[in-house]
Amino acid sequence: MEAILALEDGKIFKGRSFGAPGERYGEVVFNTSMAGYQEILTDPSYKGQIVTMTYPLIGNYGVNDEDAESRKPFVEGFVVKEYSKIASNWRSKKTLGAYLNENGIVGIEGVDTRAITLHIREAGALKAVLSTIDPDENSLIEKAKRSPGLMGVDLVKEVAQSKDYEWNNKGRYRVVVVDCGVKFNILRELARNDCRVTVVSANRTAKEILSHKPNGVLLSNGPGDPAALPYIVKTARELIGKVPIFGICLGHQMLGQAFGGKTYKLKFGHHGGNQPVKDLKTGKVAITVQNHGFCVDIDTLNKKDVEITHMNLNDKTLEGMRHKKLPIFSVQFHPESAPGPNDAEYLFATFTQMMKKNA
């Protein structure tokens, strides 16, 4: 079956369908990871996006029961150069195509993913439509133009769990995780670091969060425009000074706004497992996993209270900060990896030490 990827600026890419038939809209982005496609598909931060993999062969080790990072895939569409119909791995339970089909995700193969990536780098992230049911190119381009995109849209409410739950029941430190689209490996890393983890919905108030009597609060990753989430920013602002806080990705952006800063949209975002980030205190450089299209504006932060701790070496954007007096810090990248390098895994131990000191 033919599939077509149409961008809002008129670019058309034709290929073959794999996965579910249908039509999906989203912002098209590229991911530079060479492995970990199942983790990428199930990262809730990709809600609202059509993901193009720059690595040319995808699907060769299939899909298993252990590598999902949330309850289901959240990408709007999946774009690859070549889909491997043969899946060979001792953990594999099914093929990638079958997995996409089961979850209603449209996939396209046989397109020039290098050309798509280069175009996005020049033109910036673009709205797009991926379709197996509409062969009219002009119709698809108009649909892409009319699609909502990410700006000003609250996507957290579409990925966050509505019910609170206990992730584990053992640990010295009680941590409440505010679920904006949390990845499972964040919860696993907290549990490994002697934390008893309670996950609460993103719409919980500061009072409801504090009623759990936590030793610390983690503001999780999530999708979409951080400026469209004033209710989470309000909660973050009300938690400041009450309890140690660790923010990851969207959680970092929530804290940035709570500190008085503003966010803006990056040209094509950071998506992949090879982003170099420098720790400004130690001078060490970590290769990090990232997935975000928005960023906190360094110049809008109050430097009297907030210290910049990490910087992206590719484009000099903000990657980490901490409060100078209070036990609060955050990073724009993903220290839990999954997939990708674990250079920044130590930050979970840093959070534990912060809670220990505060107690």
Q: Catalytic amino acids?
A: 249, 334, 336
Nearest to 53 by CA among 26, 25, 81, 27: 81
Encoding tokens for residue 159?
């990925």
Determine contact, residues 51/24, Cβ cutoff 8 Å: no
List, in sequence order, every beta strand (DSSP E) within the chain.
2-7, 12-19, 23-31, 49-53, 57-58, 77-79, 82-83, 106-109, 126-131, 165-166, 173-179, 195-201, 216-219, 245-248, 263-279, 285-296, 306-312, 318-323, 328-331
CB atoms within 10 A of CB 104: 13
d(CA 297, CA 261): 7
Give the Å distances, CA to CA, from 60 to 57, 70, 106, 116, 356. Answer: 7, 22, 18, 22, 44
Residue 285 carries which side chain, given as an amino acid letter? V
- For residue 339, how many other CB atoms are within 10 A of its CB? 21
Pairing assessment for the beta strands 165-166 and 195-201 based on DSSP bridges: antiparallel
